[in-house]
Chain A
């Protein structure tokens, strides 16, 4: 029997469609169909100046828009060899790590919702709300932030904002402990996710996976450590890795990574200069030197990179986005074959995709 899971299915995280061939409740084959949210971002970018592209990046991975903003600006800055003011660098780190936490929180909530538990989904919105509120104060938006600029950030933090962030850290630590107690030991949850959707490091690397999906197999790979960008080399933090490469590891790594992000934010708050410019000396019209430029950052879902082909003008000649969700999704049919329908949702949820990014 052919079963269309999605595009309107409640657990396909947006508008993902999966055509599965089932016998009883066992999946014989799965065929992912994407493109329901396709907006042609890469093509649109060819007609836009670099600063004008930033709002489009917000709409890719809309749960981690700060990181998307940064990835584009970072690539342009690398290509142009721009210098970024200290305070701007710290502000960037703070908002990016906060955004990573907000994104991971939503993963935890949505994943539990996929498995039939509704309460955690509503709990995570309490912390997320605080982060979103802080973002609203610093950039005036709650979802599509558009905060980064080539050469720095658009606005300095308002009075008292950094103290607000500092107050958030102990609160968040408490909540992480609560999630760990509430979820990680639940027998039903463990039976649903342990040993499900397993793959090893070689498979993950062969499929080009990155982020938590790759780290869950025990392979330590985090661009913040391996190819440090911005000022990540000034902070002490660990890269948590899994052991089994199963759904449970992927869930648990999200919790562990949030803890590490909190550590980074804490150190950044200690080190940030009390004043200074937040936007460097940037030419009025940004022109990227002719040639090919790529820079990747550790996004919330893996390596997020912008590949820009420039002919030296103020618009990219061609742009290609390396979208972690899109790459990570490719393994799905292999993981699903032979599984139960209930596992379909568990596996798809753990791969952690954002359809805005998959379709771009």
Chain B
């Protein structure tokens, strides 16, 4: 395990960090590329279609071709848009999504990620910043659909951030630490937290789906109502940035879910990184499965659900966990 904090900050270490960052970025891009392909494939199968199979062997280069196409498209900025905000919004959305990966322990020997004492807090705080990008994009587009989409996503992401955070607190209480590595270690030698924290996991699963803006909570985009929501005016690589944000965030959330409730990299026989990959893959696949199955919720029902169902449940879970922790130890 590489302990970043324990090292003196020399030029060599800064270089190592940079290389580490680039490797994580490339890995993330690879994951995102094949996540998108996997999404199209699995939804294709569920809908009785074949899915992409033309570009490259078995369609493996389909997403690469899509990205290339997006990159060479014209970068259109609407005439009446707030130009600086419009240009910077996708970046504001993407950067924090990518930064959250810094604390996810990919394996026992997490070479490139930080062993942060406040890992959980760091993740929650950074993921909340993405809202700004989405909202600014919706506002700066000067398009009514984009504006409604942006406002919706702000309301939705803020509302679901709270039950999400509270469901995680249950795990933090049990593990007695906010360090994601230590949370994994605590599970490696005992129960995975999905068992004692089952209610917390359910809340986390629902709230994270909403945080990711995925079906049945995909209201910010809601193509049948808002055409495309906050990114309706975005083209080319700026649109790609928003898509990238969405999938990086999906990857990060899957990683967080595996870390908090499924023992992260721990597991018998197989190497840690493979266990981690399997757990992440399952979470992502379930998200796609839900996407192929569910219709979309209505915005007011969505808010009601968060505040009147998830919040009390999360609070109850917290109280029960705290009491049990005090009694049993």
Contact = CB atoms under 8 A, between A and B. Distances in A.
A126 B48 contact: yes
B53 interface: no
Interface string B295-322: 1111111000000000000000000000
A113 B295 CA distance: 8
B299 A340 contact: yes
A285 interface: no
A115 B46 CA distance: 18
B147 to A, nearest CB: 9
B27 to A, nearest CB: 30
Interface stretch (B4-12, B195-203, B217-225): B217-225
A11 interface: yes
A188 interface: yes
Nearest to A9: B227
A332 to B, nearest CB: 16
Contacts of A189: 295
B49 A10 contact: no
B69 interface: no
Interface string B225-253: 11100000000000000000000000000
Given A1-B144, A11-B225, A341-B148, A119 B299 contact: no
Contacts of B152: 25
A9 B296 CA distance: 18
Contacts of A1: 144
B223 A343 contact: no
Interface residues on B, range: 20 to 34
B225 A119 contact: no
Contacts of B222: 116, 342
Contacts of B300: 340
B227 A10 contact: yes
A227 to B, nearest CB: 38
Kindly state the interface size class of chain A when it binds its partner: 20 to 34
Contacts of B226: 341
A181 to B, nearest CB: 12
B80 to A, nearest CB: 15
Contacts of B215: 116
B47 interface: yes
B163 interface: no
A27 to B, nearest CB: 12
Contact of A188 (B144, B216, B223): B216
B78 to A, nearest CB: 16
Interface string B55-75: 000000000000000000000
A119 B216 CA distance: 13
Interface string A233-271: 000000000000000000000000000000000000000
A1 to B, nearest CB: 6
A351 to B, nearest CB: 15
A114 interface: yes
Contact of A122 (B48, B148, B219): B48
B328 interface: no
A103 B301 CA distance: 31
B47 A123 contact: yes
Contacts of A343: 298
Contacts of B3: none
B296 A116 contact: yes
B48 A342 contact: no
Interface string A195-206: 000000000000
A184 to B, nearest CB: 12
20 contacts: A10-B223, A10-B224, A11-B225, A112-B295, A114-B224, A115-B296, A116-B222, A117-B293, A118-B292, A119-B47, A188-B295, A188-B296, A192-B298, A340-B299, A341-B225, A342-B219, A342-B299, A344-B225, A345-B224, A345-B225
Interface of B: 43, 46-49, 144-145, 148, 152, 215-216, 218-219, 222-227, 292-301
Closest 10 CB pairs of A and B: A116-B296, A117-B295, A122-B47, A115-B295, A11-B224, A342-B298, A116-B295, A119-B47, A114-B224, A189-B295
Interface of A: 1, 3, 9-11, 25, 112-119, 122-123, 126, 186, 188-189, 191-192, 340-345
Given A25-B299, A113-B224, A342-B299, 20 more contacts: A3-B145, A114-B224, A115-B295, A116-B215, A117-B294, A117-B296, A119-B46, A119-B47, A119-B293, A122-B48, A191-B301, A192-B296, A192-B301, A340-B298, A341-B148, A341-B225, A342-B222, A342-B225, A342-B296, A343-B298
